């Protein structure tokens, strides 16, 4: 009998390796789950698949589900994080094709695979699994605001889909390389798939969201760091509520503000300008001090993916001088990132 699977299963219980499904997205930022898995769990990805009119690619080899199964894939992951977390009907033939080819399906959308009759029936008939990772655990309490032991860092963004997850992953890895006990704490579907556990913050009922953030990062050894993946933006016209609950509940000692160089308009909301880095730092510190009076900003993570190496180095140095704090692109690394890591650790 078909049995749905949730994110509470450990990562080695998930069917892998993966075929990454890109749907029919035309905006690379909406394929961030696929790109995140490619960049941080590449050993678990055999290729990509998409609808016929796809305009975005991860650069992995294009494989039909039948080819991916022959290459060793166990599941097809929906690599899309679109507004509202929808599964369009136009995707269903491709999802059914994967099931027919012998692959399980893994989704991180608000729309759950297990709630779609067509997919549920096919999975039952074929003996396949439907895995929904955007499923909060039961029993989330209302936040209590009590200070907790251990140290916490939260990545805070000027907008969505610009590097908060990558920054948190890079910082957690750098902390460990410095001999610091540190954990990456995932708060979205991509991070959960990478880490194998976490809290899907945007699927939690709002009254319990700050409590969910407290659960995600419990009391720890005073020397331990939880590096927490940020969500949305405090200035976002739709998602600010998730960002504020995460800020209050995680009680960060340190924030790192994330921004994409050159982005001027909020992704998907062209009538809204992206806030400045300075305004983002100011608002995050003013709101964050409500639950952690000692909160501080260590620096800025600047996404320079659209620049060449020389341009990126010039922009990073100029922004560091202008803002008076460390600025780095964690993906590029180098001395500027080392300075940001040192500033985080104090």
Contact at 8 Å (CB) between 77 and 102?
Answer: no
Q: What is the mean pLDDT of residues 178-188?
A: 97
pLDDT band at 191 (very low <50, low <70, confident <90, very high): very high
How far apart (Å, rounded) are the C-alpha atoms in residues 118 and 290?
A: 47
Q: Provide the β-strand partners of residue 183.
A: 226
Q: How many CA atoms lie within 13 A of 344 on its CB side?
A: 32
pLDDT of amino acid 3: 35
pLDDT of residue 235: 98
The model's confidence at residue 307, banded by pLDDT at 50, 70 and 90, is very high
Determine the 3-state secondary structure of 71 from DSSP.
coil
Please return the burial class of 173, using the count of CB atoms within 10 Å of its CB with bins 0-12, 13-18 and 19+.
middle
C-alpha distances in angstroms, 266 versus 57, 116, 165, 275, 300? 23, 31, 18, 9, 18
The winner for highest mean pLDDT among 3-12, 50-59, 140-149 is 140-149
Q: Chain-wide mean pLDDT for the chain?
A: 94
pLDDT of residue 52: 77
Average pLDDT of the segment spanning 156-160: 97
pLDDT attached to residue 283: 98
Mean pLDDT, rounded, for 177-184:
97
3-state secondary structure of 1: coil
Q: How many CB atoms lie within 10 A of CB 207?
A: 11
| Close Cβ partners of 117 (under 8 Å, ≥ 6 residues apart) | none
Closest CA relative to residue 208, chosen from 257, 259, 254, 246? 246
Count Cα neighbours of 253 within 13 Å in the Cβ-side half-sphere: 17
Mean pLDDT of all residues in 193-220: 95
DSSP string, 170-197: HHHHHHHHTT--EEEE--SHHHHHHHS-
- Which of 72-86, 202-216, 322-336 is least confident? 72-86
Are 131 and 14 within 8 A, CB to CB? Answer: yes
pLDDT in tens, 32-83: 899 999 999 999 999 999 997 778 999 999 999 999 999 999 999 999 988 8
Closest CA to 302 of 278, 277, 329, 262: 329
What digits encode the pLDDT tens for the residues 108-117?
999 999 999 9
Cα gap 285→294, rounded to integer Å: 9
Is the model's pLDDT at 98 over the cut of 90?
A: yes
Q: Of 76, 72, 67, nearest to 22 (Cα)?
A: 76
pTM here is 0.88
Query: Average of pLDDT values for 309-326?
Result: 98
Provide mean pLDDT across the span 101-121: 95
Q: Is the pLDDT of residue 10 over 50?
A: no
Hey, is 155 helix, strand or coil? strand
């Amino acid at each position: 009998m078909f049995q749905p699977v949730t994110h509470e299963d450990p990562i080695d219980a998930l069917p892998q390796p993966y075929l990454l499904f890109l749907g029919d997205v035309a905006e690379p930022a909406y394929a961030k789950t696929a790109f995140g898995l490619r960049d941080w769990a590449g050993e678990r990805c055999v290729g990509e698949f998409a609808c016929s009119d796809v305009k975005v690619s991860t650069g992995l080899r294009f494989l039909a589900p039948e080819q991916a199964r022959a290459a060793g894939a166990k599941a097809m992951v929906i690599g899309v994080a679109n507004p509202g977390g929808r599964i369009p009907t136009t995707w269903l033939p491709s999802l059914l094709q994967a099931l027919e080819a012998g692959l399980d399906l893994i989704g991180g959308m608000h729309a759950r695979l297990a709630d779609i009759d067509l997919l549920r029936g096919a999975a039952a008939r074929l003996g396949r699994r439907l895995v929904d990772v955007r499923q909060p655990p039961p029993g989330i309490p209302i936040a209590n605001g009590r200070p907790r032991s251990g140290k916490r860092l939260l990545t805070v963004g000027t907008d969505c889909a610009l590097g908060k997850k990558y920054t948190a992953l890079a910082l957690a890895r750098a902390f460990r390389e410095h001999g610091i006990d540190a954990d990456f704490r995932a708060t979205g579907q991509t991070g959960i798939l990478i880490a194998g556990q976490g809290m899907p913050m945007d699927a939690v009922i709002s009254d319990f969201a700050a409590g969910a953030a407290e659960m995600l990062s419990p009391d720890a050894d005073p020397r331990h760091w939880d590096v927490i993946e940020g969500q949305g933006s405090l200035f976002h016209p739709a998602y600010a509520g998730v960002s504020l609950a995460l800020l209050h509940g995680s009680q960060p000692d340190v924030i790192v503000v994330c921004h994409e160089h050159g982005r001027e308009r909020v992704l998907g909301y062209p009538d809204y300008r992206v806030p400045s880095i300075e305004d983002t730092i100011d608002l995050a510190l003013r709101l964050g001090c409500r639950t952690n009076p000692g909160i501080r900003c260590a620096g800025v993570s600047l996404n320079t993916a659209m620049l060449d190496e020389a341009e990126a180095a010039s922009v990073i140095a100029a922004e560091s001088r202008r803002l008076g704090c460390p600025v780095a692109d964690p993906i590029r690394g180098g001395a500027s990132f080392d300075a940001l890591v040192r500033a985080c650790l104090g």
